[in-house]
Structure 1
Amino acid sequence: MIYLDANATTAASESVVAAVFAAMRGALGNPSSIHAAGADARNAITRARDEVCLLIPGALPEGVIFTSGGTEGNNAVLRGIPNVTIVTTNVEHPSVLRPAEAAKEHCSVRVGRDGTVDPQAVADVLPPSGEVIVSIQWANSETGVIQPISDIIGAVRARRPDTFIHVDAAQAIGRIPIRIDGIDALTFSGHKIHGPQGTGALVLGDPDETRLKALILGGGQEGGRRSGTQNVPGAVGLGVAIREREEAFESASRALKTLRDVFERAVLEVVPGSKVNGGGSPRVPNTSNILFPGIEAMAMVARLDQRDVACSVGAACSSGRPEPSHVLSAMGLSEDEAYSSVRFSFSVMNSVDEALRAADIVAQTARELR
């Protein structure tokens, strides 16, 4: 199979698999235990925290809280401050939109046709008083469009310096440079960059942050913010995945961009009317969302799956639903256009030959479905 759905998940690397296996087969104990086996487990968790910080300059190990992934991290932030107003955009992931909609007050700022939000528009909707969270994704899971995070932070801080700023970096980490500067909480999943599924982290800009309440109470693990026995093998695997990407960050970014660009050029040259949604905006290097006018995207994805090319019609958390993509609709696409758009997302495990072969199969499939 030519797997082009890396924004949904990626396969764990061989090094990650080996590290997780070794941790599970080893004599690691419960990190909360005081004996030697418990100390070994605590040391493994500590090393993993250090490794997470490799890809997030400015982050401190004490501010790293291991989670089950981006959805838990997003909920921990958005449900962690009581009586709060939450400001988001209308292209966020469902794990941000649903908690935001359940908040005391919620304001959704519209993006432009290019998929980006105006930083000043975010600042302009901030309430004059009361607790407020601004939650903005660094990169969109469907289009790969990158939000101007630094400019958003500047505009928000100028209006309300006390605003709690959260960034969902699930699709950005390991693909573009990111920093924790000016961010109160950053969340991501491990399985987007070849770590184990069911792993992720919530990274606090200030490890001593007091506004964010614990989502899970119990024995006080993870600095009292996420109680429960830690997933040591998962944390170890996540740390290895982060370290691998940090060591090869520049080459990985170049390789991903090459794969995406080769694929896009080949498809656009031979499929009449096709175009890249968000193609004029800054994007993460691995993501291509292509509109195939007059072709039903679900039919194309099913036909491609039969031909051993895996892709998707949008975010994995919502792609099974019949509604048109809320992201593409927010960018001004018609319902028919949204229903005719397919997402292809690459990983470093893909090759240029696969990208070209996939483009040929996509072009053949498009001809058959017209």
Structure 2
Amino acid sequence: MIYLDANATTAASEEVRRAVLAAMQDGFGNPSSVHIRGTNARQTITNARDEVCLLIRGALPEGVTLTSGGTEANNIVLRGIPEAIIVTTSVEHPSVLRPAEAAAEHRVVPVLVDGRADPQAIAEALPASGDVIVSVQWANSETGVIQPVEDIVTTVRSRRPDVFVHIDAAQAIGRIPVHMDGIDALTFSGHKLHAPQGTGALVLGDPEETRLKAQILGGGQEGGRRSGTQNVPGAVGLGVAFRERAKAFDEATGALRAMRDAFEAAVLSAVPGMRVNGGSSPRVPNTSNILFPGIDAMALVALLDQRDIACSVGAACSSGRPEPSHVLLAMGLSEDDAYSSVRFSFSVMNTMDEALSAADIIAETVGKMR
């Protein structure tokens, strides 16, 4: 199979698999235990925090809280200041939108047609007083569009220096440089970057941050921010995956961009009338969301699956009935166009031959559907 759904999840790398297996075989101690196995497990967790920081400029290991993934980390932030007003954008991941909707008050800022938010519009949505959390996804999971995080942080801080700024970096980490400049909390999942599923972290700009109230109470692990016995094998895998990407960041991102760009060029030249959603904006190097006018995206994805190409469309509701992507609708696409859009997302496990082969098969399949 040509797997082009890396924004949903990625396969663990060979080094990650070996490290996780070794941790399960030989490093099974509880990090809270005082004997040698517990001591070794604690050191393993410490090493994982260090390795996480390799991909986040300005991050400190003591500010890293290991979680079960980005959704839990987002909820720790968005539910951590109980009376806070949450300001976010219309293109966020459901793990941000749903907690925001459950808050006492939330404000949703629309995006421009290019998928990017206006920093000034976010600043203008801030309340004049009271606790407030601004939550923005650094890179969109469906289009790969990169938000102007630096400008958002600067503009928001100029109006309300006390705002708690949260950045969801699930699709940005390891694909573009990320940092903690002016950011109070940064969250991500490990499985987008070849770490095991069920891993992720919350990274605090200030390790002594006291505004967030813990959501999981118990033995006080993870600095009291996330109680429960730590997932040692998962932490090992997360750290190894981050170390691998940090060592080869430029090579990896360059390869992703080359494959994505060649793929888009081949598809667009072979199938006239196609358009890349968010293509005029800065994007992470691995993501392509293509509009195939008049084509049923669900049917196209099913046909491509039969040809051993894995890709995806927008979200589906709990009944399983497909819904148009809220991200694409927020960017001004019609429902018909949103229903005709497919996301392709690459990882470093793909090859250029796969990218070009997939483009040929997509062009052939779309031609038969017309």
Range into which the TM-score falls when normalised by the shorter chain: over 0.9
Q: Which residue of 1 aligns with 2:125?
A: 125
Amino acid at match of 1:55: L
In 1: Cα distance, 2:320 partner to 2:99 partner: 20
* CA RMSD, 1 decimal: 1.2
In 1: Cα distance, 2:250 partner to 2:182 partner: 24
In 2: Cα distance, 1:123 partner to 1:175 partner: 27
Q: Which residue of 2 aligns with 1:54?
A: 54
In structure 2, relative to structure 1, the CA distance for the partners of 1:286 and 1:302 (3 Å cut) is same
Partners of 1:68 and 1:199 within 8 A in 2: yes
Q: 2:259 aligned with 1:259, yes or no?
A: yes
Gaps of 5+ in 2: none
Q: Secondary structure at the match of 2:57?
A: coil
Q: Which residue of 2 aligns with 1:197?
A: 197
Q: Which residue of 1 aligns with 2:37?
A: 37
Amino acid at match of 1:199: T
In 1: Cα distance, 2:316 partner to 2:157 partner: 33
TM-score (norm 2): 0.99
Partners of 1:66 and 1:235 within 8 A in 2: yes
Q: After alignment, is 266-275 or 310-319 more displaced?
A: 310-319
Partners of 1:141 and 1:315 within 8 A in 2: no
How do 1:260-279 and structure 2 match up within 5 A? 260-279=260-279
State the shift of 1:314 in Å: 2.8
Amino acid at match of 1:340: S
In 2: Cα distance, 1:208 partner to 1:334 partner: 46
How far does the alpha carbon of each residue in 1:49-94 deviate from its partner, in whole angstroms, 9 at most, with x for none? 0000000010000000000000000011000111110000000000
How far does the alpha carbon of each residue in 1:251-298 deviate from its partner, in whole angstroms, 9 at most, with x for none? 001000001001000000011210100000000000000000010000
In 2: Cα distance, 1:333 partner to 1:318 partner: 23
How do 1:139-154 and structure 2 match up within 5 A? 139-154=139-154
Partners of 1:65 and 1:201 within 8 A in 2: yes
State the shift of 1:181 in Å: 1.0
How do 1:191-340 and structure 2 match up within 5 A? 191-314=191-314, 321-340=321-340
Amino acid at match of 2:328: L
Q: Which residue of 1 aligns with 2:74?
A: 74
Partners of 1:184 and 1:205 within 8 A in 2: yes
How far does the alpha carbon of each residue in 1:84-127 deviate from its partner, in whole angstroms, 9 at most, with x for none? 10000000000000000110110000000000000010001100
How far does the alpha carbon of each residue in 1:12-31 deviate from its partner, in whole angstroms, 9 at most, with x for none? 00000000000000043100
- Count of residues paired in the alignment: 370
Gaps of 5+ in 1: none
Q: Which residue of 2 aligns with 1:111?
A: 111
In 1: Cα distance, 2:68 partner to 2:319 partner: 21
In structure 2, relative to structure 1, the CA distance for the partners of 1:316 and 1:232 (3 Å cut) is farther
In 2: Cα distance, 1:29 partner to 1:318 partner: 39
How do 1:80-119 and structure 2 match up within 5 A? 80-119=80-119
In 1: Cα distance, 2:212 partner to 2:319 partner: 31
Partners of 1:88 and 1:134 within 8 A in 2: yes
Partners of 2:81 and 2:213 within 8 A in 1: yes
Partners of 1:8 and 1:315 within 8 A in 2: no
In 1: Cα distance, 2:148 partner to 2:318 partner: 25
State the shift of 1:323 in Å: 1.4
Give structure 1 regions of 4+ aligned residues with deviation exceeding 6 angstroms: 316-319
Query: Identity rate of aligned residues, in percent?
Result: 76
Q: Secondary structure at the match of 2:327?
A: helix
In 2: Cα distance, 1:320 partner to 1:253 partner: 34
In 1: Cα distance, 2:319 partner to 2:170 partner: 17
Partners of 1:141 and 1:314 within 8 A in 2: no
Partners of 2:314 and 2:323 within 8 A in 1: no
Q: Secondary structure at the match of 1:342?
A: strand
TM-score (norm 1): 0.99
Amino acid at match of 2:125: V
